[in-house]
Amino acid sequence: MADGTMMRLESLPVSVREEFQPIQFPMGATLLVHDHLPQQVLLLKSGQARLLVHDPRTDRLVPLARLEAGAILGANSLIRTVPGEAAIASTEILALALPAARFLELIEQYPEFAHVCRQPTLSEVAQVLLRELNRLADGVTPVRDLALAAVEQVQLGSSTQPSHAANSERRDTTPNLTPDFWSDTATSEVEPTLSVLSSPPISPTGISWFISGGKVFPDQLYTPVDPQTLDSTQQQDWRLLGIPLEFLPSRPQASETAAANLPTHSPLPFTPQPAPQPNAQHPKPPSSTSPPIPTPYTPTPEPPPPNLKKYPYTHGTGPLQGTLACFKMLAKFLDLPYRPDVMRRVLQDRLRKDGALSLEFCAAIGDLLGLQVQLTNCPAEVLPRVPTPALLTWEDSFAVLYETRPNLLIVGIPAAGVQRYTPTEVQSLWGHEGPVLLLQRTLTTPKQRFGLSWFMPAVSQYRTVLLEVFLASFFVQLFALVNPLMTQQIIDKVIVQEAPDSLPTFGLILLVVGVFESLLTVLRTYLFVDTTNRIDYGLGSQIIDHLLRLPLGFFGRRPVGELTSRVNELENIRQFLTGTALTVVLDALFSVVYVAILFFYSVKLALVALAVVPFFILLTILLSPEIRRRLRAKAERNAATQSHLVEVLSGMETVKAQNIELKSRMSWQQRYGRYVIAGFRAIQLCL
């Protein structure tokens, strides 16, 4: 079934057809996201949509086709169990929606309906072609025209669950396949698999086969395979897509390249021998009187044992603490943003509701974190080949599978630490078979949570100028120290000792110091403002460039006001790095000078003044987490308030047309009131 063709529902009973619920989408709405499995199948009744595909060569969505009424969306991804379809509404759309779980049930119950839905789609063909182009480092070939031409000639196959397409004629076009390859009555005792090759195989029919879905590991998707090497070593279903070689990019063979480089008329340095006849006996090699030299046996060196210190570890016992520890270890290992308070609240709610935490729920959390997740049932003997990292059930909690080798597995257990196990030991501890959650990063997976380190490259670029600002600030602070010292000298020398002749000298010193202090202050301010403006300009350009390169789904999940408020907060962070941080460093340096002067005048007075320092340190350690939490709540309330205000102002025509001014004002007042309360609660601890 190519994208955009009419989906035939006549094969379904009327009661089943009534399960399709109408749903409307505005223009520009996201219908499908390329890196998530759809939650429902959509059948377009009216309107137009744009079919997109993710191009791994540019990490962008490229258009494929325009979908009209009758097109089905989401069915191909659910059948393949591989996300990849992407679509947005070009106009207002009326569609019929069916939940994904119910759709999969209908596939099993109604063969004619399944036959239509299992056909290759334009999106599936484009995904396979793009991965092959990316593998061959071909970044110029456009995929749209190539996929449109190839979709009508592709063939579909499955190692254990074949397509319901015309199998008889396809057997004729693939004579070298095993007899059970296209058969629906293949015995369950033989469960074939495919061996992955390094390059597309060339079959006699001129077709290359690729894995486009099924129960496979993520690194096996879109890889070329040879159907003639089917065996029974694994129990998995494969969805194969056969693409004619004329639509695949070709790479020159080594022999052809070498032959092309030979001179055209160069004489051969040897006399060619005639080709051997089929019945000719091969001549025996000439006997040699010297005995053969024995070659000493050199065993292949084993790889060094892994260093367990490089694997993150967090201690935890029990279902809740153990699961929290596993996600914290995964976040450190995969460089993911991790909010322990949010994660704890989500897990506690699920544990309170269901009484236990399942691996399916962990898969949902991994999907929310932006990872590509796949839940599979894996025998213990297959664990050494599982892509890592992965999450396993372990006793009453979970464990992280960090690394796999043929004879060694590295497992992070929250209650026991990072352990080395052999496959036999894991089988005795884990069992003969169990569920495994595979977790892989994608191109859109977020990285470590935004922090001060993001500003360091921009700040370090102007480190020379900032060093000059620091030196100027240092001397300004030093000159400011001259004022009280000279005042003391005037009191001691001029007033107490009655020496008015020294007063002009002290006055001249104060005047010179004041002039130099003013000049340094002006110079420091000029350098500081110029440098901070350059940093702001560079950071602003990076932010806008990053925002414009984000996928459309990012903006669909976040209001405009929230994005603008977060961008505005960046200036405050920059001001902290270049202003407050500079002041803190200077204060820390001069605090040593001030303390030394205090001890010089009076040891007792200095000790009394420093007696409160431990109290302030303890108070800071205790209150910092709560202050940080309240400041974060204040920022979130401010983002919500600004988001509502921007949306109301940008949609003022709609507000006036629907006469919802009062409702909009009340909503803004509620949000702003919560922001004021959050700000007051944050200041309470700072007083």
pLDDT digits (tens, 9 = 90+) for 457-485: 777 777 888 788 888 888 887 888 888 88
Rounded to whole angstroms, the maximal C-alpha distance in the chain is: 131
Which residue, 104, 124, 158, sits at the end of a domain? 158
CATH value at residue 363? 3.90.70.10
- Helical H runs in 550-660? 552-556, 560-575, 581-601, 603-610, 613-650, 652-658
In a domain, residue 435? The reply is yes
In a domain, residue 82? The reply is yes
Which residue, 158, 173, 199, sits at the end of a domain? 158
CA distance 286 to 289: 10
Q: What is the pLDDT of residues 101-130, one digit of tens each?
A: 888 888 888 888 888 888 889 999 999 998
* Whether residues 559 and 432 fall in one domain: no
Give the structural domain span for 117: 14-158
- The residue-averaged pLDDT of 552-564 equals 76
Residue 15 has pLDDT above 60, yes or no: yes
What pLDDT is stored for residue 233 in this prediction?
44
Residue 514 has pLDDT above 70, yes or no: yes
Residue 171 has pLDDT above 80, yes or no: no
Higher pLDDT, 194 or 325: 325
- The residue-averaged pLDDT of 125-138 equals 85
Q: What is the pLDDT of residues 226-259, one digit of tens each?
A: 766 655 444 456 788 888 888 887 644 433 433 3
Residue 450 has pLDDT above 70, yes or no: no
* Whether residues 93 and 79 fall in one domain: yes
In a domain, residue 241? The reply is no
Q: 74 φ, ψ to 5°?
A: 100, -20
Share of the chain above pLDDT 90, in %: 5
* Whether residues 581 and 620 fall in one domain: no
What integer best gives the mean pLDDT of the chain? 76
Residues 567, 639 contacting (CB under 8 angstroms): no
* Whether residues 393 and 485 fall in one domain: no
Residue whose C-alpha is closest to residue 444's, from 127, 34, 124, 86? 34
Residue 262 has pLDDT above 70, yes or no: no
| pTM for this predicted structure | 0.39
In a domain, residue 355? The reply is yes
What pLDDT is stored for residue 303 in this prediction?
53
What pLDDT is stored for residue 227 in this prediction?
67
In a domain, residue 475? The reply is yes
What pLDDT is stored for residue 669 in this prediction?
92
In a domain, residue 212? The reply is no
In a domain, residue 275? The reply is no
What pLDDT is stored for residue 161 in this prediction?
43
* Whether residues 515 and 549 fall in one domain: yes
Q: What is the pLDDT of residues 587-639, one digit of tens each?
A: 777 788 888 888 888 888 889 888 988 988 898 888 888 888 888 888 888 88
Which residue, 601, 617, 638, sits at the end of a domain? 601
Share of the chain above pLDDT 70, in %: 78
What pLDDT is stored for residue 637 in this prediction?
87
Residues 125, 239 contacting (CB under 8 angstroms): no
Angle at the Cα of 20 from the Cα atoms of 15 and 24, rounded to 5 degrees: 155
CA distance 463 to 594: 28
Q: What is the pLDDT of residues 645-677, one digit of tens each?
A: 888 888 898 888 888 889 999 999 999 999 999
* Whether residues 402 and 460 fall in one domain: no
> What's the pLDDT band for 195 if we cut at 50, 70, 90?
very low
In a domain, residue 208? The reply is no
> What's the pLDDT band for 49 if we cut at 50, 70, 90?
very high
3-state helix, strand, coil in the chain (%, to 5): 50, 15, 35
- The residue-averaged pLDDT of 92-103 equals 90
Higher pLDDT, 171 or 676: 676
Q: Where are the beta strands (DSSP E) in 350-476?
A: 372-379, 390-394, 397-405, 408-413, 417-421, 433-440
CA distance readout (Å), 75 to 19, 24, 97, 121 = 16, 19, 11, 10
Residue 307 has pLDDT above 80, yes or no: no
Tokens read off for 119: 């056909």
* Whether residues 567 and 672 fall in one domain: no
Residue whose C-alpha is closest to residue 176's, from 252, 80, 242, 232? 242
Residues 420, 410 contacting (CB under 8 angstroms): yes
CATH value at residue 544? 1.20.1560.10
Residues 419, 306 contacting (CB under 8 angstroms): no
* Whether residues 152 and 25 fall in one domain: yes
* Whether residues 413 and 506 fall in one domain: no
Residue 285 has pLDDT above 70, yes or no: no
What pLDDT is stored for residue 308 in this prediction?
63
CATH value at residue 146? 2.60.120.10
CA distance 133 to 681: 56
Q: What is the pLDDT of residues 370-422, one digit of tens each?
A: 888 888 888 888 888 788 889 998 888 899 999 888 788 889 998 888 888 88
* Whether residues 369 and 424 fall in one domain: yes
Contacts with 45 (C-beta within 8 Å, 6 or more apart), sequence order = 22, 69, 94, 95, 96
Cα dihedral: 631, 632, 633, 637 (round 10): 100
Per the structure, how many domains does the chain have?
Answer: 4
> What's the pLDDT band for 293 if we cut at 50, 70, 90?
very low
* Whether residues 580 and 653 fall in one domain: no
What pLDDT is stored for residue 400 in this prediction?
92
What pLDDT is stored for residue 673 in this prediction?
92
* Whether residues 548 and 460 fall in one domain: yes
